[in-house]
Structure 1
């Protein structure tokens, strides 16, 4: 009898590989390159901490140095070609897979000088603003070309291709048909705006990356390396593991906790998924569903305060509001979405006849909290600084990193002392661990930094006059219909998101569609009430659909990561994950018109909690509608009632507006509750044909 071939999959190695794929540093550096990468990453982190905490430096200088570090790391770690060839060519001449060569080092040097040129000749560039000399044009041209190539290496060809299309459009504008034509720009104006001004590469996206985003990514990386990620997972398992489908519920909660800090879908999948996905499979979840639950939970991490993703900080800059206002607006939709996902895991467990994990197999909640409570200190510090002290996001996370650094050094020193090492050895190891976490945080930023810089090229092209032309084209395409424009924006965000990082996707869609969304919505009224749409709602709409692209087939890199861990089909996982995430897609469609969900002009805490409760009920009803199950299998009447309840909870005025004034819109929520109770009672009265699933024996987790 032939033995079944063992899987070669190794969770730990795959986790590291996927993190490298996301952030771009895929090369297997060794020797000099590895040490140089470590040093550059460490210098980058120390520079960012210094500029945030105690060094005053011009904003353009910070952005230029930030870009220099990022682009250097990419060229020093990712070769031009992914694979060497054999044949007539000598392998030593070609750029072999996972191996950089002298050519890449030359590119790194030229790229670094090009990025720093705005600093090296800052006085001269300022004195001849708009009138670049030949040297300016040469270095500007080099920066654009090398930035596009570095971005291709780090996140693939989609974003550089789109940026190139915009560049071509700028120069070909005067020669296009009337409905596409615009005056265009010459070489001097284009290079000057892109590389010597704050309207292009060194614009708002890179500014946000160079300030708050870097620090939040560093904070998340340091906390995860210190053991915080594993603590959150064990705490979630201890608290929820004994419920029906407890492993999946724990996966959702653990991913929510880590996602709030990391702000990255793929990092979340490979961090928590290597533990939760095998556990869900062991409980009885099919492989694709286990992976899809983890992917859906991880994707929503970019929506959950206090960190969210890099795009959230850019929203704050574009809308000109404090970051805490963006976090406040995103809070109810994000947490209601997680409540709905918890409900989906319960529904799936009910369909399969699952039970919870035995308490004997679970970690003790008190012991887990006792061992890991220290990881809550830097998070509490961050929340205090953001919410109560109301400091800037940059200052808040800087102070949280300082607290986390002290905690890391102290716990490492004490742990090694317990093992019997000398004080000197303990201090040496603690310092080494801290410095390595700083370097790791920097290397994790390479992809984000280059994505924002490359997106700056697109924003710069739009500000050259292209934006008005595209805006007019989109308005014509939507026929001035707000619903059609929302559909176009959503579909375009999903399509772009298949090849772009969330941040770049958001920047493009927000630049092109957010102002039009607000303008068209200003002419819309519901039942005679003019519901002016705030700019923040339009930007969040673009962000939500951009994030959903992370698990949208056929690309969805997060789905591929989860599928590899679960040993399932990535397409099946992507489709299932997207079907779970439909519950999130309904929220921006609702809060675009019902601004209460994003707490717009809501200043009462009891009212905010009431809206949160109604939003949770609405997402649960919608999840039950899409999954075909509430407490039993839905029939046609149940589906109709659940769909009606979704509207009554999420935007009741659409229905109550026929008979009640706007002030009494939430009276419809009482009707929704009554209908939910009716569906519950009728489904409970039906026989349940699902047979209990025979659960396997467990070892202690």
Structure 2
């Protein structure tokens, strides 16, 4: 029996790898048989993690530019060792040309370190050696970006470079004075406005530390804790496995940050359970993918893009997390509502209690692993220390807390694995940050972002709603097939300024584009997270994508509403008003979920579904009158359904609510 289980687990792991490699370029890694290469990768990765951990406590021993360059060099070396140049390239050996590219990733940092004072003294007047080193680094970053993120992001970056060099020949508002390659090389390499810009700065400080923290948490068994807790709390309810998927995936997604990787990791466990109790395979895949995408919206960690948002806006990360919490919870409430209504409509049961873990036993065995999360929250929101310092100490606390029980205790090998995993995972984020640096740098240099914002406002006729609509479409299109971090950075550079011009607070505008850049992962025709879930469920990728889109409906409505109603973000809101906002928003999202499934006490016709959706949206909109109208719609439909059911003898399903 154990051999059969082992074979099944091996098949599932293989299936996970196949799905990841198909939909996630970040997972196509080499696996060496050569012991020397295995040790080499471990030494480089662990050295990188330890360097960033030590500097989190002591501060970088080198200037900011050199620190960021060292971070990029570490990343590039690992990319050319770990990532093959093509899908079909062999993954069990390291070819000579990648050895060469890895070695070429070092000189640019050494050059900056040795010549830093001269570079500062020259003040933006590059010499031939500067241009050569800058050109070399640009080529290496482009190739690394192509291997890790796919072709879309490097092609977009190349178009921006061509725009910078030849944009003086363009007509209209997008023309500029033009820049030659020496100016661009200097911008990309010798300033913090290019490759070493804010995205790489955040990657080399906040992001890598939180990724290492996540690696230590998962190594200690946090993933199993989330799964077991979700099973114990919701497993026996109607549609229990789907609720388990939403809750466990949300928590893990906040830590892990990658929608596709999270979909495959937790979906391997939750999707078969959902199918087993009767959910259609397309719906099961949609639940997993929509919940995985939302993990990046959920505090306290929110994947990684939130750190870039905080740095870009000059706003404390704790403030970003606080304003993001209610919209994120509303997003998950919307998914849970549809999951529950679908289970009630289709008469789906939960998992038998005998097959579920006991919550007391779960907390006794692994509950102490929640302490690092509580410690992090304390450090960020109460102690008020810097994010870097909080992250570094939380990693230490995680190691100490894991030792409380033998089943979670990490030995030296486990800690080395966590450090290596942290560095490997950071590679995908940092390469995207470095590549997107070209786009951000050129937007700043040429004024492209401001010009595009003016164009969006002009097209929208200075109508806030139309501008929001155009911005949403632009964010989804720009985010298709692209990792969430570069998707956010690009949309924040190009689209958010248009909203700011119309009076939207910068933090609200950035959160708006953040949402829709992420939702590109579940929006057909390029819904990569949904396609990955379909690969596990055996469903139709496109139908899974459309189901995921419907499950995420509250997430599409809430960003529009928090632009009009900033109290949804709990910004400058009194306690009593905050409570009222939470109540009305909760009822509004419940109504939207019911309308999406077209089922309340029994099936809703199209008119009542539309009215329920309108009522839900009006509950999210600020104003006493809109709340009164929404409440009237809800009460009227409820009364009609009760009366009709009584007359027609419809089976009483109200106890399910």
Question: How far is the alpha carbon of 1:669 from its aligned partner?
Answer: 2.5
1:284 to 1:606, Cα distance in 2 relative to 1, 3 A: same
Q: 1:565 aligns with which of 524, 527, 536?
A: 536
Answer yes or no: is 1:480 the counterpart of 2:452. no
Answer yes or no: is 1:29 the counterpart of 2:32. yes
Task: Give matches, 1:8-407, under 5 Å.
Answer: 10-15=11-16, 21=24, 23-24=26-27, 26-31=29-34, 32-57=36-61, 58-84=63-89, 96=90, 99-407=93-401
**In 2, are the aligned partners of 1:170 and 1:466 still within 8 Å (CA)?**
no
Q: 1:512 aligns with which of 470, 494, 510?
A: 494
Question: How far is the alpha carbon of 1:192 from its aligned partner?
Answer: 1.0
Match of 2:3 in 1: none
Instruction: Report Cα offsets for 1:155-194 as digits up to 9, x if no partner.
Output: 1000000000000000001222344321121222211111
**In 2, are the aligned partners of 1:64 and 1:119 still within 8 Å (CA)?**
no
Scaled by the length of structure 2, the TM-score of the pair is: 0.92
Instruction: Report Cα offsets for 1:486-521 as digits up to 9, x if no partner.
Output: 2221112111211211111111111112122111x2
Question: How far is the alpha carbon of 1:118 from its aligned partner?
Answer: 2.3
Instruction: Report Cα offsets for 1:11-30 as digits up to 9, x if no partner.
Output: 22344566674645522233
Match of 2:515 in 1: 544
**In 1, are the aligned partners of 2:255 and 2:303 still within 8 Å (CA)?**
no
**In 1, are the aligned partners of 2:66 and 2:109 still within 8 Å (CA)?**
no
1:672 to 1:116, Cα distance in 2 relative to 1, 3 A: farther
Match of 1:421 in 2: none
Question: How far is the alpha carbon of 1:415 from its aligned partner?
Answer: 4.8
Match of 1:454 in 2: 435
2-structure distance, mates of 1:491, 1:69: 36
Instruction: Report Cα offsets for 1:361-387 as digits up to 9, x if no partner.
Output: 211111111111111111111111111
2-structure distance, mates of 1:605, 1:59: 42
**In 2, are the aligned partners of 1:22 and 1:447 still within 8 Å (CA)?**
no
SS at match of 1:592: helix
Instruction: Report Cα offsets for 1:445-477 as digits up to 9, x if no partner.
Output: 111001011111111101112424433443444
Question: How far is the alpha carbon of 1:670 from its aligned partner?
Answer: 4.5
2-structure distance, mates of 1:15, 1:585: 29
Answer yes or no: is 1:500 the counterpart of 2:482. yes
SS at match of 2:79: helix
1:401 to 1:606, Cα distance in 2 relative to 1, 3 A: farther
**In 2, are the aligned partners of 1:633 and 1:683 still within 8 Å (CA)?**
no
2-structure distance, mates of 1:613, 1:469: 41
Match of 1:679 in 2: 637
1:138 to 1:458, Cα distance in 2 relative to 1, 3 A: same
1:469 to 1:279, Cα distance in 2 relative to 1, 3 A: same
**In 2, are the aligned partners of 1:622 and 1:643 still within 8 Å (CA)?**
yes
2-structure distance, mates of 1:7, 1:221: 25
Answer yes or no: is 1:584 the counterpart of 2:559. no
Instruction: Report Cα offsets for 1:292-314 as digits up to 9, x if no partner.
Output: 10111111000000000221111
2-structure distance, mates of 1:458, 1:30: 38
Q: 2:621 aligns with which of 651, 657, 672?
A: 651
1-structure distance, mates of 2:74, 2:225: 32
Greater shift, 483-492 or 430-439, is seen at 483-492
Q: What runs of 5+ residues in structure 1 fail to find an aligned partner? A: 1-5, 85-95, 417-425, 523-532, 653-664, 693-701
Q: What runs of 5+ residues in structure 2 fail to find an aligned partner? A: 1-6
**In 1, are the aligned partners of 2:236 and 2:350 still within 8 Å (CA)?**
yes
1:285 to 1:165, Cα distance in 2 relative to 1, 3 A: same
Instruction: Report Cα offsets for 1:42-101 as digits up to 9, x if no partner.
Output: 1111011111112443322321121111111111011223225xxxxxxxxxxx456430
SS at match of 2:147: helix
2-structure distance, mates of 1:151, 1:477: 33
**In 2, are the aligned partners of 1:23 and 1:443 still within 8 Å (CA)?**
no
SS at match of 2:552: helix
1-structure distance, mates of 2:555, 2:651: 28
Instruction: Report Cα offsets for 1:266-301 as digits up to 9, x if no partner.
Output: 232122211111111111111111111011111100
2-structure distance, mates of 1:673, 1:605: 22
1-structure distance, mates of 2:257, 2:470: 26
Answer yes or no: is 1:534 the counterpart of 2:537. no
> What is the aligned length?
639
**In 2, are the aligned partners of 1:237 and 1:362 still within 8 Å (CA)?**
yes
**In 1, are the aligned partners of 2:231 and 2:357 still within 8 Å (CA)?**
yes
1:22 to 1:83, Cα distance in 2 relative to 1, 3 A: closer
2-structure distance, mates of 1:583, 1:331: 14
Question: How far is the alpha carbon of 1:103 from its aligned partner?
Answer: 0.2
**In 2, are the aligned partners of 1:23 and 1:445 still within 8 Å (CA)?**
no
Question: How far is the alpha carbon of 1:600 from its aligned partner?
Answer: 1.7
Scaled by the length of structure 1, the TM-score of the pair is: 0.87
1-structure distance, mates of 2:635, 2:459: 44
1:564 to 1:394, Cα distance in 2 relative to 1, 3 A: same
Instruction: Report Cα offsets for 1:197-254 as digits up to 9, x if no partner.
Output: 0111111111111111111111112211211011111111111111111111111111
